[in-house]
Chain A
Amino acid sequence: MSSRSVLNVMLAFYMAVFFGFLFGPLIIMGVSAFNTSTYPQVYPIEGFTLSWFDKLLSDRDMVYGMKNSLWIGMWVVLLSVPLGLAGAMMMNQVYHKARSFYYVIVVSPVLTPGIIIGISTVVFWRDLTTTTGSKFLYDGVFLTVLGQSSFISAYSMLMFMSRLNRFDRAQEEAGLDLGATQTQVFFHILLPFLRPAIFSSAVLAFLSSFENYNTTTFAILADKTLTTVLAGRVRQGTTPAISALAVLIIAVTVTGAIIYELVKRHEDRKRQERLDAAHKAERMELQSIENATLHA
């Protein structure tokens, strides 16, 4: 065997281990969701069934937690994306020397352990609502949205910052020069430029909220989200219904990823067509100049 094919075999082996490590648990989940055995297992396959999905959908706690998680996720997106954008824009405005200080302050929630954010959110709001007599604000969903947003908006700020770094300030000046107000420049020029970052930070914010446990488990108080329900369940022993849930979540994620990829490919193709058109125009332009000088 040549050294080259030894290398290939080793590489293939490595890839198999790597992907096995990544996707093994998901595959086990996926298969066990359809196996009739009452304990999640892949082998032996005792029979094919969809009953675990039924069971999942009739599990009131689980469905309730799921709805709550989606609801919280939506609010976190609505809060964190604008906050992150404002924070990133602020970053460009602050005086040079204050910039790194500002950065540390704004990013610190990302570095703080989630448990601490959860506990401090609870303590702060308990005291605040008690002393001001606004006890109705001491609500699990409300606190969870705030607690999660405190660090998720920092993620979103980081994403906006990297996009804003690529913004050509001359665009803004060109808008102003043509008579636009700052507000018009923001809506007509800056926001469209930021659209990809708005999209990706919204997705990231939603996913981080949806899967968050550490902060949520405290901030949610007596209420429930999907993660807290699941945590409680797993403690009592896992069932294939949980595998069924995993299959649903994976299906949604994979579908989303495929759609995203298709859209992106379509856009790349469009862009390539535009660049080709530009090249062609460029050549024709030079050609016509040459012709003009030849005939002159």
Chain B
Amino acid sequence: MILYDYVLSASCYKIRLMAALSGQKLELQAVNFHPAREHKSPEMLKLNPGGTLPILRDEDLIMTDSSDMLRHLTRNLPEWQGDDDGWLDFARTLNETLGMARLHDVLGFEVDIDAARKRGVHLLRLLEAHLTEQRFDGMIFLTGDTPTIADIACFPNTALAPDGGVSLDVYPSIRLWMRALRSLPGFIEMPGIHRLHELEAAE
């Protein structure tokens, strides 16, 4: 499988993370998203007329939607499947709000930054409320006791919210959930998202 990848993209990281956690190897093809906008180049548009990243290619199958990619990577792994549909949609809205705020703050994208942050905070409150409910029921992840593609889809843009000027300090349940994900075997990092350090784990 080939992942057309941009190193700072939260959505590309989602796919790299899912592959790593499930022990699957991806061949990474770096795309110069910034500053060269190579994802809009004629060759890349041939692969994905929508001009977005990531793109996942498994032989003749070309996927351009990260939810499809997560489903594809876990199609034979029922332990990674749960009641995911609603959360995959939720992940999309996280990308449109917190994700865009981050692209604004880091790479200078033109975005209505106040609106993006405000909607992002609203989503974080919903996520916090749900994860708190889950904890009352003795569950740490979005759909149950173990992580599914719902968690992997929602994690990157949540964890990277501070890059877009949105603090996570006031969401204890989200922070616990992120710690649980960061301590999973096979977890990989990206700038702004670190694996759980030994000291932190012992706290």
Q: Do A and B bind each other?
A: no
